[in-house]
A = this chain, B = another copy of it.
């Protein structure tokens, strides 16, 4: 066995060099390159590779070992977010650059770095012990950053190949380089796009202004009705399926080594705006949201142009918690939009799908069923010790604000619960310019997982 995984940083640099942006079809070459790179690494590790075609980007399905062994499933994604706005990057997004103990590049943290961690650890373990008695199924998809539209279909049709005792994921966050977290919950997501249509073409706002409803005005009227002035979502039934967090969850969160002042500073806001009854750090984990990700219409250039535009748009995503169902919520939002659209314009709502929220109760925490698989019980215990030994602290057990809809899908379709050890931090600028991955975490996490894979089979 001779692999670029001998040098994990170099491996990550190469992986980042493929601009695998799934949101934009102009990047299809980068998508192919990243996928080929991941397949090549898994082949080096002795996996048997199966590339499963989907309507957009193929899923890598790879396996090793005897199915009678304990069965671990590992998830990752080879696609990344778009790099724009490009002018805000300090170095080129697809040429990884090391600065101040970090590797900068789009996808360095989300999710290419953590994948290289897993693979490098496996490389070390399998090099010493090629017959490691652990059955591993690797699933690496290429559509995570566009909401995994093909993944559920893939799961349904490959259910039999996904049998396992536990899912391992490192696509979540941790408080910092000295304090990792095991993620015990993820918010769900549902995305919608609104388009408002007014006159048949852009009109002179002097000659015609006053006769008709401006689509920008209509759009803002509809959108601004979705929250009250305390930030709560006003859409009827939106909160129906939201449950209060458990006491131990609030207590665990209090151990988080971050003050509200520091968090405000990090975000660069002078004042938080979380719903009544929830601190900002609670709100991002325990509360659902309805967020505007983009709005636009009319003149976008410098100076002014006196125009009434023909149309306007808004892109919306809702984050969901507890028992909220993405289809139910999407329909409620759609209905609200249609009901509140003024009759003088035409509105189109496109539901873009999403995924349901997910919660796992660690086997050692109040509320766990005790019915978990042996591998799951063992894994949660070993990961705590392995993190302690590499990082000097035990992990916190926290829900996270982000969404990985496929985690819920893997639970629903294949019955898999997830051990999610977070390897990126707030400083990594996920989805933003100057994304980076902390090289200290990178190195220690490889040790952690080397330890983890070794002990899991003992």
Interface residues of A in 367-386 (CB under 8 A from B): none
Interface mask (A428-453 → B, CB under 8 Å = 1, otherwise 0) = 01111100000000000000000000
Q: Are B81 and A401 in contact (CB under 8 A)?
A: no
User: Is A73 part of the binding interface, using a Cβ–Cβ cutoff of 8 Å?
Assistant: no
Q: Are A189 and B346 in contact (CB under 8 A)?
A: no
Q: Are B402 and A207 in contact (CB under 8 A)?
A: yes
Segment among A6-14, A292-300, A411-419 that sits at the interface with chain B? A292-300
Interface residues of A in 211-230 (CB under 8 A from B): 211-214, 216-217, 219-221, 223-225, 227, 229
Dominant secondary structure at the A interface: loop
User: Is A147 part of the binding interface, using a Cβ–Cβ cutoff of 8 Å?
Assistant: yes
Q: Are B272 and A211 in contact (CB under 8 A)?
A: yes
* A293-B205 contact in complex given A147-B304, A224-B224, A269-B199, C-beta closer than 8 Å: yes
User: Given the complex of chains A and B, what is the CA–CA distance between A198 and B231 in angstroms?
Assistant: 15
How many copies of this chain are found per oligomer?
2
| A side interface size, CB within 8 A | 100
A274 / chain B contacts, CB cutoff of 8 Å? 210-212
Segment among A47-55, A132-140, A235-243, A277-285 that sits at the interface with chain B? A277-285
A278 / chain B contacts, CB cutoff of 8 Å? 210
Interface residues of A in 179-216 (CB under 8 A from B): 187, 189, 191, 193, 198-214, 216
User: Is A271 part of the binding interface, using a Cβ–Cβ cutoff of 8 Å?
Assistant: yes
* A319-B402 contact in complex given A211-B280, A307-B431, C-beta closer than 8 Å: no
* A304-B201 contact in complex given A273-B344, A342-B273, C-beta closer than 8 Å: no
Q: Are B281 and A211 in contact (CB under 8 A)?
A: yes
Neighbour of A295 across the interface among B199, B298, B346, CB < 8 A? B298
Minimal Cβ-Cβ distance residue in B for A295: B216
User: Given the complex of chains A and B, what is the CA–CA distance between A342 and B230 in angstroms?
Assistant: 10
Minimal Cβ-Cβ distance residue in B for A426: B207
Q: Whole-angstrom distance from the CB of A301 to the nearest CB of chain B?
A: 7
Neighbour of A203 across the interface among B202, B221, B267, B270, CB < 8 A? B267
Interface residues of A in 292-324 (CB under 8 A from B): 292-310, 312, 314-315, 317, 319
Interface residues of A in 81-126 (CB under 8 A from B): 81-82, 84, 88
A310 / chain B contacts, CB cutoff of 8 Å? 268
A272 / chain B contacts, CB cutoff of 8 Å? 211-212, 344
Q: Are B301 and A82 in contact (CB under 8 A)?
A: yes
A205 / chain B contacts, CB cutoff of 8 Å? 289, 291, 293, 317, 319
User: Is A170 part of the binding interface, using a Cβ–Cβ cutoff of 8 Å?
Assistant: no
Q: Whole-angstrom distance from the CB of A327 to the nearest CB of chain B?
A: 17
User: Is A343 part of the binding interface, using a Cβ–Cβ cutoff of 8 Å?
Assistant: yes
User: Is A256 part of the binding interface, using a Cβ–Cβ cutoff of 8 Å?
Assistant: no
A223 / chain B contacts, CB cutoff of 8 Å? 217, 220, 224
Contacts A193-B304, A306-B403 aside, 14 further interface pairs with beta carbons under 8 A come to: A201-B268, A203-B432, A204-B402, A207-B426, A210-B288, A213-B269, A216-B314, A217-B227, A219-B295, A221-B227, A269-B345, A271-B343, A293-B306, A294-B298
Query: Which A residues are closer than 8 A to B by beta carbons?
Result: 23-24, 81-82, 84, 88, 146-147, 173, 187, 189, 191, 193, 198-214, 216-217, 219-221, 223-225, 227, 229, 231, 263, 267-275, 278, 280-281, 283-284, 287-289, 291-310, 312, 314-315, 317, 319, 342-346, 352, 400-403, 426, 429-433
Write 21 A-B pairs (CB below 8 A) sorted by A numbering. Answer: A24-B303, A81-B305, A82-B305, A199-B267, A199-B269, A202-B433, A205-B289, A207-B426, A208-B267, A209-B289, A210-B284, A211-B274, A211-B284, A212-B269, A212-B272, A220-B220, A272-B344, A293-B298, A293-B299, A294-B297, A295-B298
